[in-house]
Amino acid sequence: MGKVLKALPFDAQQTIDPLTGKLGYDRTSNAKDLAAWMGEYFGNGVIVKGGNVLGTELEVTAATGLNTSVAIGKR
């Protein structure tokens, strides 16, 4: 099994397991579950206001010589 994280997006509460008496958390999730959940919102590392599809925000284009131009990200 992969690394287990405290569950998100809500804070997990520390509890005592009634069978073993060990400290634990009331909810946990695997890292792969967190990655799948985050993938729903962050496909390419750029967040676009309103959840729209990435258009020309932060688009990089060639300029003169060795220069580049980056389009604005917030309008």
Do 51 and 34 share a structural domain? no
The pLDDT score that the predictor gives to residue 26 is 80
Structural domain count, the chain: 2
**Full domain range(s) for residue 53:** 46-75
24 in the same domain as 1: yes
Residues 26 and 53 in one domain: no
- Please tell me whether the overall predicted TM-score, pTM, comes out greater than 0.95 for this model: no
> Low-confidence residues of the chain, pLDDT below 70?
1-10, 41-54, 74-75
Nearest to 11 by CA among 34, 28, 35: 28
| Per-residue confidence (pLDDT) for residue 51, from 0 to 100 | 62
Cβ-contact 14, 3 below 8 angstroms: no
**Residue 65 pLDDT:** 92
Is 9 in the same domain as 36? yes
